[in-house]
Structure 1
Amino acid sequence: MLKPFTSDIWIADGPHVSTAGFHYGTRMAVIRLADGGLFVWSPVKLTESLRREVDALGEVRHLVPPNSLHHLFVDDWRRTYPKAILYAPPGLRTKRKDLEFDADLTEEPAAAWAGDLDQVVVPGCLITTEVVFFHRKSATALFTDLIQQFPSTWFSGWRATVARLDLMTKSEPAVPRKFRLMFAGRRIARAALARIEAWPTEKVLMAHGTPVERDGQAFIARAFAWLTG
């Protein structure tokens, strides 16, 4: 079910997915661009009811998996919206050779959304290279896996202990410890983060975690203090 998030952004939560026995919720965002076209970020499982709700907002023109981990449901969207442009984040072309991508996500926003969204590729992490977006009209930054938060009761048993040590269940969304440890290229990551921190961010939306509704710029600085300090 689509829910309004802020100006021209709607979100929908999808089914849980499992990685090494850890269950993660999924979340997508639909952004209506100035030309009326829809930018679908981190697509979740496409149900018939979700399709009807999306179609009521406008024409799906851009399918955007933001990193090489969020690709499980892209093929359903591709088949349903064959005229939409499918973008590949760094590393996903190699991982999903079965998909026909139309374009790549790079340091520069695509011309189709350059007036609505800015973007930064965050390099240096051995887990995945994430593309972070900024919706200018609503001052919203969109993170995928670099910032996460789960309720303290989300995991149980030894997985709850691992999640706590990994900083996944902190009271405020945070960069998981495993991501911090896997940043081999910290210098280039800092340069990318400097561009993100310069955005006048008010809200922060993430695929896994409670959205930040205000003072987003200060929140991002706190979340990445381990990298910049």
Structure 2
Amino acid sequence: MSMASMPDWSQLQPGFADPVHDAQNVFRAVLDALARPGRLRGVGSRLAPSEEASVAARATLLALADATTAVWLQCVLPELASALRFHTGAPLLDDASALSGAHFALLTDPAHCPALERFALGTAESPEDSTTLIVDVPTLAAGHTGCEGLRLRLRGPGIATHADVTVGGLDAAFWQARAALASRFPAGLDLLIGAGDTVLGLPRTTHVEVC
């Protein structure tokens, strides 16, 4: 490999201290969050804080991404990009024209989220061929007290009656656009919303009402 084509690892950040067990624990936390929408799950303090993205968002990508899963980064995040290339081998996308080819998409500026229809939604025959959106938000809490943000009520599989959460950084228009995808089920988008070291799972089967 020529020096000109070698990756620049000068901004490489450490990955998991225990790559196998840490990745397994984060993977289980994410699966549990998706199976029980409305129940916030902690991924643990497995990574050092970063100004680029939350621990939850970065740990989720490090646990889920691999050399076969393309990752789209909404913003330029050199530290995270280097970590993903080195620790997972995931191909990275940063061109908006490549949205439909992303297995995972990290939104770190959710107020300027691209139209949801531009991501891969899967098909009735292959609903799994869709993008999982990992949305980094400033605030996230169970219930309707404790932090600033939009109050949401969740209903659907995995929820006994309803669950209330408060999510900052995503306005009502985002949730309206998500609701518009319901007619395409079983195609659609699954969401993982992260803040700090906490993650909220919202599979496409979850109905979200803005309170």
Band the TM-score falls in, shorter-chain normalisation: 0.3 to 0.5
Q: TM-score, normalised by structure 1?
A: 0.35
Question: Which has the higher relative contact order, 1 or 2, with Cα contacts under 8 A spaced 6 or more apart?
Answer: 2
Give 1 or 2: higher helix fraction: 2
Give 1 or 2: higher strand fraction: 1
